[in-house]
Structure 1
Amino acid sequence: MVLDDVLADDPRVAPVAGGLRARGVRRGDVVSWRMANSDVPMLLYRACWRLGAIAAPVHHLGDTAPPGLVVEDLPDGSPVRAGDAAADDVAVMLFTSGSSGAPKAVLHTHRALAYKARLMVAVHGLAADDVVLMPAPMAHISGLLNGVLVPGAAPFRTVWMPRWDADEAARVVDDERVTFMVGPPAFFVDLMGASRPPRSLRLISSGGAGVTPAFCEEATATLGARVKRTYGSTEAPTITTSGPGDPTERGWTTDGRPVGEAAVRLGPLDELEVRGPELFVGYADPSQTAAAMTADGWYRTGDRAAIDEGWVTITGRLTAVIIRGGENISIAEVEGVLERHPAVRQAVV
């Protein structure tokens, strides 16, 4: 299964793929770009996949001046309507620094991303009448998965934000009747503090240490949406979350259960280890891949966790601890305790 098989047809993809092919792009080539969120990078992703090329976007930090002179306008080439990719071809190369600070190029195949796109439509309970607002950069896994892949598989519409502004986001949510958002809690804290908090959202999926029960309760009351926690990474996108039929309390107090065919276990020091069809196939640097995997093929996330009857709760990073009196104290746990106080919205230790 390749991505063209699961994403709804978009007639704009064929001419973009033709343009890339006319410029010499072939199966296995790496195509990189840096630009703000819009339909353009979405079409570049899909054109690369049709050609069997590897999309390798770079995070967009800011706008640059437009070119002052166009020397030659190259022809578009013939539209490409049939794909050249195979299921196990690498589809994307996404860059992440992780907690180590060392840059890593994460590789995902067509098979893994196609599987994940279809799965998350069902897990989130999404349908063709949903609309997602995507402020996260498209060069990141969240922007790719929830702005390109899941909407393409449902299919439903994505509204792009090139840069985050809370009041503008609140206006766009209401004007576009946005129903679904995914992102860190900072986005939703900003929306709750907007001059006019939006009310059309029905589902908010958020991950990170700041997604406390207090945050979930406040976001539910202020934004009128079902709010739940989720957990994943660039290497292992959306491994755990809760579904529409799960208890609200579990969605607020845990990071959910493994979705689809994903499996989790605890390794030494309670490090969460995961495996499943959505896992990356490795880093571009084989030595980084070897360091991240166990001998029996599980991905070492670097996150500490607890598992209770299948429900996973991330308790912090292996390295994010404070040592006092010989005891290891999780920074995330301290922040969580502080955020239970009604006068505290967010805590950082």
Structure 2
Amino acid sequence: MLFLNRFDMANPRRPAVVDLSAPKTTVLSFRELNRLADRAAQGLIRLGVERGENVAYLLPNGWEFVVLTLAIWKIGAVACPMLPALREREIPFIMNKSKSKVLIIPAEHRGYRYRPLIESIRSELPGLQALIEIEARDPNDSKTCLGGLASEEPDLDRIASRRPGAGEAAQLLFTSGTTGEPKGVIHTHGTLAHGCSAHAHGLGLTSEDTIWIPSPMAHQTGFLYGMSLALYLGAKQVCQGHWDAGTARVAIEEHGATFVQAAMPFLADLTREEQPPKGLRIFIATGAPVPRKLAQEAKDRLSCKVAGGWGSTESCMISVGSVREYSDFSWNSDGQVIAGREMKVTDEDGRALPPGREGLFKVRTPAMFTAYLDHPEWYEAAVDADGFFNTGDLAVIDEFGNVRLTGRVKDVINRGGVKIPVAELENLLYQFEPIKDAAVIGMPDPRLGERICAYVTLMNPEQTIGLEDVTSYLKSQGVTKIYWPERVEVIGDMPRTTTGKIQKYVLRNWITDKLESERHGT
């Protein structure tokens, strides 16, 4: 069943959105949410937005994001959200690719004002016809909230006539760009609904759960497995506009959050609180493998079920650790296949590999994206004739059906013909007491092609460690010498995407530049 149909079935009196992003917490019932969405839909029609057109909005998590998404969907348009961290390089790219004639921005977010930025790049946005700036945030003032989009009474018959079907586009989401040019991923109302329904059923989520959303709603984790999941369930969602552990505590202990799906840094920060908040029922950790040590600590300190999972912008969630039959496998792997999905590991020629063998990770699902914007050749290269999507990841599936992602194909280190087990090394380094985060990358070498470099951050910034400390530790763990890093770089913070993924291409660029400088003595 599609989101709008499920939304219609929600109890109108129940709380739908709790927004913690403003100085004063905002709470909307499902009735109030629907009323605002209808008014905003009328505003979009007034601006000339047609069925099937992309509508771009650059907003943090909050009630406005939820209302606008529903409004866009109600008139058969396509949601094209952008992360608030995007600036003059990315915004023109997405606006011109999407051909959105509308851009909706906040007046200010975390001290940054967006209108001067947009005005400075206006010449690069030839298709932009309407810039909507959201300043007033009182949902009860329909004349000024949502930048005036909700100022008119809605023509409900006209809005209803534009209600989309399952096969119509619902979302245009650009990949985070950890490597190369961002890809515009297109999902339909049907594929997104499939992505939510099977996940919710597998985890046993109901309208009685409260969905906490610290992940950006402009990323698939926050959009689909936060906001949309809550709408699908008819459940309350708690929106956190930016990350801090204090607000997280409020979401969990004061507003009753029971479920969250978020990246590993969120889990680590909560677990490392002196008194971790209690009340969560399920934490699904995605975006990067969860080190075993952290998963065990989180399970104990948060008193909730911590499970791993894997999904992508293109495929939605494919696997998740069981919370119904909870065991160590739930958190020390990337889970088991979700009902109705398929996954396999193959060699480079497409032959399926037996359990325990590492290979290319491929998936098939009814929640699969339908196209890459303007690039049908990318879709043809990524999805084979049988409908299996080549994720670009390496994985191992064991005899029990648990999948473990072992790295990106592009992250493989080939040291003189020896393939280095990157994920295993990173997991071990994470268990080394002084280390907070670790990323193992290949650095260029004229003789071997690549050598092994470990970038690390430390628990105590005043402390330092060197190569000998790391290799001695790995030796004590029984790691063969050919897998030891040959260089250790200690840094303050890992470069990450806004959703918590370590940007290894940035680290590779750093070490390449550093080696070049050392070679020339600069």
Q: By the TM > 0.5 criterion, same fold?
A: yes
User: Is residue 40 of structure 2 the alignment partner of residue 16 of structure 1?
Assistant: yes
- What pairs with 1:274-293 in structure 2 (closer than 5 Å)? 274-284=363-373, 285-293=375-383
User: Is residue 358 of structure 2 the alignment partner of residue 272 of structure 1?
Assistant: no
Match of 1:191 in 2: 270
Match of 1:337 in 2: 428
Confirm or deny: 8 A CA contact 2:226 2:260 kept in the other structure: no
- The offset of 1:79, in angstroms, is 4.3
Confirm or deny: 8 A CA contact 1:3 1:49 kept in the other structure: no
Pick from 386, 389, 410: which aligns with 1:319? 410
Confirm or deny: 8 A CA contact 2:308 2:320 kept in the other structure: yes
Task: Give the secondary structure class of the aligned counterpart of 1:346.
Answer: strand
Match of 1:211 in 2: 290
**Counterpart Cα distance in 2 of 1:57 and 1:200:** 31
| Alignment deviations for residues 29-57 of structure 1 (CA, whole Å, 9 cap, x no partner) | 11111111101111111111111101101
**Counterpart Cα distance in 2 of 1:259 and 1:191:** 27
What amino acid maps onto 1:329 in structure 2? I
Pick from 179, 190, 211: which aligns with 1:132? 211
Match of 2:80 in 1: 56
Confirm or deny: 8 A CA contact 1:215 1:345 kept in the other structure: no
| Alignment deviations for residues 266-290 of structure 1 (CA, whole Å, 9 cap, x no partner) | 2335111111111101210222222
Match of 1:34 in 2: 58
Q: 1:209 to 1:32 in 2, by over 3 A?
A: closer
Match of 1:119 in 2: 198
Task: Give the secondary structure class of the aligned counterpart of 2:81.
Answer: coil
**Counterpart Cα distance in 2 of 1:318 and 1:73:** 47
Confirm or deny: 8 A CA contact 1:6 1:114 kept in the other structure: no
- The offset of 1:142, in angstroms, is 0.5
Q: What TM-score, normalized by structure 1, do the two folds share?
A: 0.92
Q: Which ranges of structure 1 fall in alignment gaps of 5 or more residues?
A: none
- The offset of 1:245, in angstroms, is 2.4
Task: Give the secondary structure class of the aligned counterpart of 1:86.
Answer: coil
Q: What TM-score, normalized by structure 2, do the two folds share?
A: 0.63
- The offset of 1:107, in angstroms, is 0.3
- The offset of 1:291, in angstroms, is 2.5
Answer 1 or 2: higher relative contact order, Cα 8 Å, separation at least 6: 1
**Counterpart Cα distance in 2 of 1:258 and 1:307:** 10
**Counterpart Cα distance in 2 of 1:65 and 1:324:** 46
Confirm or deny: 8 A CA contact 1:203 1:227 kept in the other structure: yes
Match of 2:152 in 1: 76
**Counterpart Cα distance in 1 of 2:327 and 2:434:** 23
Task: Give the secondary structure class of the aligned counterpart of 1:313.
Answer: strand
Confirm or deny: 8 A CA contact 2:203 2:324 kept in the other structure: no
**Counterpart Cα distance in 2 of 1:173 and 1:55:** 29
What amino acid maps onto 2:397 in structure 1? I
Pick from 149, 152, 175: which aligns with 2:231? 152
Name whichever of 144-153 and 322-331 sits farther off. 322-331
Task: Give the secondary structure class of the aligned counterpart of 2:343.
Answer: strand
Paired-residue identity, %: 32
Match of 1:241 in 2: 320
What amino acid maps onto 1:276 in structure 2? T
**Counterpart Cα distance in 1 of 2:176 and 2:298:** 30
**Counterpart Cα distance in 1 of 2:379 and 2:289:** 29
Q: 1:319 to 1:289 in 2, by over 3 A?
A: same
Q: Which ranges of structure 2 fall in alignment gaps of 5 or more residues?
A: 11-29, 86-108, 116-132, 136-143, 349-358, 441-522
Task: Give the secondary structure class of the aligned counterpart of 1:119.
Answer: helix
Confirm or deny: 8 A CA contact 2:3 2:231 kept in the other structure: no
Name whichever of 202-211 and 44-53 sits farther off. 202-211
What amino acid maps onto 1:225 in structure 2? C
Task: Give the secondary structure class of the aligned counterpart of 2:270.
Answer: helix
- The offset of 1:312, in angstroms, is 1.2
What amino acid maps onto 1:335 in structure 2? E
Task: Give the secondary structure class of the aligned counterpart of 1:181.
Answer: strand
| Alignment deviations for residues 85-113 of structure 1 (CA, whole Å, 9 cap, x no partner) | 11100100001144432111100001111
Confirm or deny: 8 A CA contact 1:214 1:340 kept in the other structure: yes
What amino acid maps onto 2:240 in structure 1? M
| Alignment deviations for residues 174-213 of structure 1 (CA, whole Å, 9 cap, x no partner) | 1112111111110011112234320111110002444022
- The offset of 1:325, in angstroms, is 4.0
- The offset of 1:236, in angstroms, is 1.1
**Counterpart Cα distance in 1 of 2:218 and 2:438:** 28
**Counterpart Cα distance in 2 of 1:279 and 1:144:** 16
Confirm or deny: 8 A CA contact 1:303 1:317 kept in the other structure: yes
What amino acid maps onto 1:78 in structure 2? P
- The offset of 1:346, in angstroms, is 3.4
Name whichever of 72-81 and 2-11 sits farther off. 72-81
- The offset of 1:169, in angstroms, is 1.6
**Counterpart Cα distance in 1 of 2:423 and 2:178:** 15
Match of 2:258 in 1: 179
Confirm or deny: 8 A CA contact 1:230 1:240 kept in the other structure: yes
Name whichever of 312-321 and 9-18 sits farther off. 9-18
Match of 2:5 in 1: 5
Report which of the two structures shows the higher radius of gyration computed on alpha carbons.
2
**Counterpart Cα distance in 2 of 1:57 and 1:344:** 36
RMSD (Å), alpha carbons: 2.3
**Counterpart Cα distance in 1 of 2:287 and 2:313:** 14
Confirm or deny: 8 A CA contact 2:240 2:247 kept in the other structure: no
Name whichever of 180-189 and 92-101 sits farther off. 92-101
**Counterpart Cα distance in 2 of 1:32 and 1:49:** 13
**Counterpart Cα distance in 2 of 1:100 and 1:65:** 26
Confirm or deny: 8 A CA contact 1:206 1:228 kept in the other structure: yes
User: Is residue 389 of structure 2 the alignment partner of residue 299 of structure 1?
Assistant: yes
- The offset of 1:20, in angstroms, is 1.5
**Counterpart Cα distance in 1 of 2:415 and 2:240:** 44
- The offset of 1:222, in angstroms, is 1.0
Q: 1:3 to 1:155 in 2, by over 3 A?
A: closer
